[in-house]
Amino acid sequence: MRRAGRSLGRVRLPWKGGRLVKIRLLELLRCPDCAHERLELAVFASGGDRVSVHQGELRCSGCGARLPIIAGIPRLLPAALRPYLATLHPEFFAQHPELVPPAGTAADQVVARTLLGFSFQHVRLADPAPERDRWRQNLLESIPVGPEFFRGRLGADVGCGAGRHAWWAHEFGAEVVALDLSAGVDVAQATLADCPRAHVVQGDIYHLPLRLRSLDFALSLGVVHHLPDPATGIARIAASLRPGGRLVVWVYGLEGMRWWYRLSHLTPLRPVTRPLPRRAQHALSVAIAAALELTLWAPARAASRLPGGARLAARLPLS
């Protein structure tokens, strides 16, 4: 049964919080269309024993924008991108046709391709635990601070992908908002499922749905070089920081990049694979991954178990 929406300042929910949509998260959000900070919450379905908001709506008190909460994630895309949500979540909009986004201003095609392309890149791991040490190393190699920096701070991982860096920011003691343009947020939600101080939001850097001057830090690792206008994207993220807050931006660089890592992106194949149907692209990706598993990854794992084999395994490409 649908509960009526009430203002954020006065809302009293009939549950105690939950790990998905919490009052604390709503206090950090704003409308992606008009930047108004007063959002009205309506709950369509709670999370049962998980005491969480599973489906609902945030309505902007400024411009009236209706922003869905799907699978526990606020989908705070700007008006031009919201029609893509109906493509990615047809079941939700079949149940709530009043929220079907109207066709509006044409979206920037580069941004739209990024949304759709990265929505199919992130894979939910059945057991992410074996990869977490690698996630930690990757994060600490990409930032100029150590684990102690995060304790007690509030921040965001903008362009979070599968949520691996947000997981470690939380593990180091931060409260963190994991935000991404793509449907990778659904993978991030699974990655961060047991992180009580982590929140997941789908949003666009250019229309960042985070309040101004609300964060102690922001990470954007391997993201802004995908933007049509990186400088504007960085400025939008910086505006969410409090005075004295820290912004860490990391981008790929050819300098020092190993030859096999450059080849791993398979850029020469993209003109061939881009026109293929999604199912064919997936089948080709599985075939390539299976070949790498048999020729590189499985031998690397076996070698790492031998005396002195760890150093040899580390030298194998893509291992």
Q: Show which of 250, 274, 303 is a domain's final residue.
A: 250
Greater model confidence, 53 or 176: 176
- From residue 157, give the alpha-carbon distance in Å to each of 160, 178, 223: 5, 5, 10
- Range of weakest confidence among 222-226, 229-233, 291-295: 291-295
Same domain, 245 and 263: no
pLDDT at 134: 83
- Range of weakest confidence among 41-45, 65-69, 206-210, 246-250: 41-45
- Range of weakest confidence among 43-52, 82-91, 127-136, 187-196: 43-52
Same domain, 166 and 57: no
pLDDT tens profile 112-153: 566 555 545 555 544 566 678 888 988 998 999 999 999 999
Number of domains in the chain: 3
Same domain, 275 and 224: no
Strand order in the sheet with 73-76: 6-7, 39-46, 53-60, 66-70, 73-76, 198-203, 175-180, 154-158, 215-221, 241-250
How many angstroms separate the CA atoms of 136 and 245, rounded? Answer: 22
Q: Mean pLDDT, the chain, as a whole number?
A: 81
How many angstroms separate the CA atoms of 74 and 58, rounded? Answer: 8
Q: How far is CA 272 from the centre of its chain?
A: 28
Q: Show which of 195, 218, 250 is a domain's final residue.
A: 250
Tell me, yes or no, whether 207 lies in a domain: yes
Instruction: Label residue 3 by pLDDT band (50, 70, 90).
Output: very low
- Range of weakest confidence among 11-25, 131-145, 159-173, 206-220: 11-25
The SS3 of residue 184 is: helix
Instruction: Label residue 313 by pLDDT band (50, 70, 90).
Output: low
pLDDT at 264: 59
Same domain, 241 and 265: no
- From residue 57, give the alpha-carbon distance in Å to each of 70, 229, 234, 260: 9, 30, 29, 46
Residues 6+ apart with CB under 8 A from 192: 163, 166, 167, 170, 178, 198, 200
Query: Beta strand 241-250 with 215-221: parallel, antiparallel or unpaired?
Result: parallel
Query: Beta strand 154-158 with 175-180: parallel, antiparallel or unpaired?
Result: parallel
> In sequence order, what E strands does the chain have?
6-7, 39-46, 53-60, 66-70, 73-76, 154-158, 175-180, 198-203, 215-221, 241-250
DSSP state letter for 112: H
> What is the number of alpha carbons within 13 Å of residue 205 lying toward its C-beta?
31
Q: How far is CA 147 from the centre of its chain?
A: 21
Q: Which helix (H) or strand (E) holds 94?
A: helix 90-95
Same domain, 31 and 101: yes
Residue 276, domain extent: 259-315
Tell me, yes or no, whether 177 lies in a domain: yes
pLDDT at 273: 78
Per DSSP, the residues of 65-83 read: -EEEEETTEEEE--TTTTH
Type of residue numbered 198: A
Tell me, yes or no, whether 239 lies in a domain: yes
DSSP state letter for 300: H
Instruction: Label residue 63 by pLDDT band (50, 70, 90).
Output: very high
Same domain, 151 and 236: yes
Query: Beta strand 66-70 with 73-76: parallel, antiparallel or unpaired?
Result: antiparallel
pTM attached to this predicted model: 0.75
Residues 6+ apart with CB under 8 A from 214: 28, 154, 240, 242
Residue range 68-96: mean pLDDT, rounded: 90
Question: To the nearest whole percent, how much of the chain has pLDDT over 90?
Answer: 44
Tell me, yes or no, whether 294 lies in a domain: yes
Same domain, 237 and 278: no
Tell me, yes or no, whether 123 lies in a domain: no
pLDDT at 289: 81
Residues 6+ apart with CB under 8 A from 306: none
pLDDT at 6: 33
Q: How many Å from the N-terminal Cα to the C-terminal Cα in the chain?
A: 50
In contact, 37 and 213? CB cutoff 8 Å: no
Same domain, 144 and 209: yes
Greater model confidence, 249 or 280: 249
Same domain, 244 and 272: no
In contact, 159 and 230? CB cutoff 8 Å: no
Tell me, yes or no, whether 161 lies in a domain: yes
Same domain, 72 and 46: yes
CATH of the domain at 193: 3.40.50.150
pLDDT tens profile 82-95: 888 888 889 999 99
Greater model confidence, 288 or 95: 95
Residue 5 predicted with pLDDT over 60: no
Question: To the nearest whole percent, how much of the chain has pLDDT over 70?
Answer: 75
pLDDT tens profile 99-111: 988 775 555 655 6
Tell me, yes or no, whether 117 lies in a domain: no
Greater model confidence, 290 or 4: 290
pLDDT at 319: 55
Residue 182 predicted with pLDDT over 90: no
Residue 266 predicted with pLDDT over 70: no
Tell me, yes or no, whether 112 lies in a domain: no
